[in-house]
Amino acid sequence: MYNFAYQRPKSLSEAIAISEKAEEGLFLAGGMTLIPALKLRLTNPSDLIDLSELADLKGIRQEQNILVVGAMMNHAQVAAALEIRSVLPALADLAESIGDPQVRNRGTIGGSISNSDPAADYPAAVVGLGATVRTNKRSIAADDFFTGLFETALKVNELVVEVHFPIPKRASYMKFPNPASRYAVVGVMVAEHEDSIRVAVTGAGASVFRVPEMELALEANFSPEAIEDIAVSADGLNEDVHASAEYRAHLITVMAKRAVAALI
């Protein structure tokens, strides 16, 4: 690991001020991706700005039909929160399926979505549930937040404060996990909202994406049969030692069907 300066600000404004002054500052959330990246010397920040004491980034609450999750809530907290279990169990189940207990005790929702790993689970929830990402500067719609492989709409000195999830009528997340890492080889979130259905896929492409054909088919007929003949093209999908692009394309339909079946 290259050396860096470490700071643990007490407030959001202090964190941003440090970031603005730093030559090349990086925000540290749970560190479950950033610390391994530092160990591999994949990144070389001048300053690490630890967000663990920022009260603005903590807490879970409901505002009318919106579930608000603070960026620094870890996966174990999201999985266990009764406020989430009672109204959006798919989100709690998704959090419970990440990594292992020790990773869930440290890794955070804000860190996960800011990293935009192609195989991370949370992007499927943010896009599938049509969430809004609140940063220190603005609100970003889920469809605009993830812009590519490890890329988001976040600008320099901008960090995720909260994620606002509209509570759907019903939602389910199914994934085919890598047996060692529990990252999603393919994961699909299917959510039925008041006026639409959203199907979001993680693990398969460079970044999370929706499948409009499946959304339309499910709006007409909410059943696994409605989507069983809808195949996503393997062109451009991820290919690695774990799964070919064709296999991932196949898994999208399988996981989407399972998610729908779980809701009937």
Contacting positions for another protein (CB under 8 A):
1-6, 8, 28, 31-32, 35-36, 38-39, 48, 50, 52, 76, 99-103, 105-106, 180-182
Q: How far is the CB of 9 from another protein (least distance, A)?
A: 13
Q: How far is the CB of 253 from another protein (least distance, A)?
A: 27
Distance in angstroms (rounded) separating the CA atoms of residues 200 and 90: 13
Distance in angstroms (rounded) separating the CA atoms of residues 108 and 74: 4
Q: How far is the CB of 229 from another protein (least distance, A)?
A: 35
Query: In the complex with another protein, which residue's Cβ is closer, 70 or 205?
Result: 70
Q: Is 33 helix (H, G, I), strand (E, B) or coil?
A: coil
Query: In the complex with another protein, which residue's Cβ is closer, 50 or 56?
Result: 50
Helix (H) and strand (E) counts in the chain = 12, 14
Pick from 50, 60, 64, 116: which is nearest to 85 by CA? 60
Q: How far is the CB of 53 from another protein (least distance, A)?
A: 9
Query: In the complex with another protein, which residue's Cβ is closer, 47 or 192?
Result: 47
Q: How far is the CB of 131 from another protein (least distance, A)?
A: 26
Query: In the complex with another protein, which residue's Cβ is closer, 1 or 141?
Result: 1
CA contacts within 13 A on the Cβ side of 142: 21
CB 64 within 8 A of CB 74: no
Query: In the complex with another protein, which residue's Cβ is closer, 62 or 181?
Result: 181
Distance in angstroms (rounded) separating the CA atoms of residues 163 and 109: 8
